[in-house]
């Protein structure tokens, strides 16, 4: 039945992307985008406050936004920081607003493994590895990378990097060489992003909301936002989500993220 959703046709959907884009964040955002489409909202305000995340998760959210943008108006609002994977996701929105001092950019890919070989030698620990091929334990933490392994990983990073560059170039109608000139991992402000053509306007989230309303043919003074949020378990709502360690989206702390994603390509800015 369609009629129960008529009330949403005069409102703007609002989705927040906070923290690292990885794991449960991807599913939460994809589910929210599906809800926006099903309820036939005329516009979406996408608020991004993220330092980046994993390559695959960022690409899936970007692709979903691109598909949705063919049906409704989407405006992305970059908050305090929308860098690396946050930028990639934002490219799925045809219209982008950022504050003058927003930290953005960091267009690039990083892969980092942990080499504990010297520490293991000191404590007398070694590993016996049986493997099916010479590269099956690539980025193993108990040894240094070989030169062929470095070449393999660099080629993988270069391929992922070009995917990023081409996405920005296509989304922002820029030449690939132009994007490459500033897509060297550097961060820049919202003001600089405007000058580079990465965003469309400088402004607050409120100004982004008004723009979304105008694009949808709604009165910006009267149109409300409907924020789609993941419903928390009853216990979490009663006692709060207190964490003892700094966390990212999905309740994962920084150390846990580092360990679980070691050796995985990341679109990630780390201050």
Residues recognised as catalytic: 84, 136
Cα distance between residue 174 and residue 176, in whole Å: 6
Q: With helix as H, strand as E and coil as C, how does the chain read?
A: CCHHHHHHHHCEEEEEEECCECCHHHHHHHHHHHHHHHCCCCEEEEEEEECEEEHHHHHHHHHHHHHHHCCCEEEEEEEEEEECHHHHHHCCCCEEEECCCCEEECCCCECCCCCCHHHHHHHCCCCCCCCCCCCCCCCCCCCCCCHHHHHHHHHHHHHHHHHHHHHHHHHCCCCHHHHHHHCCCCEEEHHHHHHHCCCCEECCHHHHHHHHHHHCCCCCCCCCEEECCCCCCHHHHHHCCCCCCCECHHHCEHHHHHHHCCCCCEEECCC
**How many CA atoms, within 13 angstroms, populate the side-chain half-sphere of residue 253?**
6
| Residues 83/108, Cβ–Cβ less than 8 Å | no
Rg of the chain, C-alpha, whole Å: 21
Of 192, 195, 190, 167, the residue nearest 180 (C-alpha): 167
């Amino acid at each position: 039945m369609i009629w129960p959703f008529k009330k949403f046709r005069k409102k703007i959907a609002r989705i927040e992307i906070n923290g690292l884009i990885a794991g449960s964040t991807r599913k939460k955002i994809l589910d929210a985008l599906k809800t926006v489409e099903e309820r036939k909202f005329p516009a979406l305000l996408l608020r991004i406050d993220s330092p980046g995340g994993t390559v695959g998760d960022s690409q899936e959210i970007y692709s979903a936004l691109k598909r949705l943008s063919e049906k409704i108006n989407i405006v992305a609002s970059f908050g305090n920081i929308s860098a690396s994977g946050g930028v990639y996701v934002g490219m799925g929105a045809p219209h982008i607003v950022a504050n003058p001092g927003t930290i953005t950019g960091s267009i690039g890919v990083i892969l980092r493994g942990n080499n504990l070989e010297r520490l293991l030698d000191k404590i007398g620990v070694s590993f016996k590895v049986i493997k099916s091929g010479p590269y099956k334990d690539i980025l193993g933490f108990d040894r240094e990378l070989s030169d062929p392994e470095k070449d393999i990983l660099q080629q993988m990073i270069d391929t992922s990097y070009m995917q990023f560059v081409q996405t920005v170039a296509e989304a922002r109608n820029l030449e690939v060489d132009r994007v490459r000139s500033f897509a060297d991992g550097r961060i820049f402000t919202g003001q600089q992003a405007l000058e580079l053509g990465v965003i469309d306007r400088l402004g607050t989230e409120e100004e982004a909301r008004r723009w979304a309303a105008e694009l949808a043919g709604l009165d910006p003074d009267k149109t409300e936002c409907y924020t789609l949020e993941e419903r928390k378990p009853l216990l979490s709502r009663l006692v709060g989500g207190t964490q003892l360690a700094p966390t990212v989206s999905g309740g994962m702390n920084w150390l846990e993220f580092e360990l679980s994603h070691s050796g995985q390509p990341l679109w990630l800015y780390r201050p």
